[in-house]
Structure 1
């Protein structure tokens, strides 16, 4: 998972702040953490944060102190692993983020849902179906892991 910029974090915060009150609730934070492969209980988040919601600055501080720190420490452990295996495992984790119903495939709806929720999708940039079609080698309208890998590595399958 790449380090996110301040602007990326602002967009994600805005998408998570569903009611526009300037706060992200623990349940919304728990949802996004679960989607990106950081598993923790909602109760553990409440205990750790000692509150039930975060404003933008608290959200960014939480990211920097918790998530980015975990990414950095995981990176140190990974140095001993084979690069190819680490890349494969990263792709598997990324695939799980997009496979919302855990059926082993990514539909255009799942792709658009995750990209939208993270603030990385704009309706004006096109349709997720056409993005999937470019890498859908068996023309079933879904991406399996190998097709997803080809898309993420920007190669033709």
Structure 2
């Protein structure tokens, strides 16, 4: 599912799927499309999900939105899972926060920190510490990693 599909693209797809031109797409036609993009449902599962034997254009658009949102949530959960594992590496005492000392320790073990970088760890934590408690919680850590990765 590509979030780059706009309403015009989806309308064209709907028209291609609507082979008999009756203004609706059957579950069989919809399932054919879904299988081509790697989403597999039985017709029974699809009918349970859709709640009817065919979809008009507006229902088709809503179905696309629901699948896109579900796919985005799944990707976010997977990303958060990986970030949570990384967070645990830095949260040495397991208290749910990363202190300057923990950050220095882990970076030191990785060979990415020496005594001259001490102020940098403090600055890094201060920069991403949005609640000003002197530590990074998971959300602050996530922001730090995602901003660093995108630059």
Q: If the length of structure 1 is used for normalisation, what is the TM-score? A: 0.48
- The structure whose RCO (Cα within 8 Å, separation 6+) is larger is 1
- The structure richer in helix per residue is 2
Structure showing greater Rg: 2
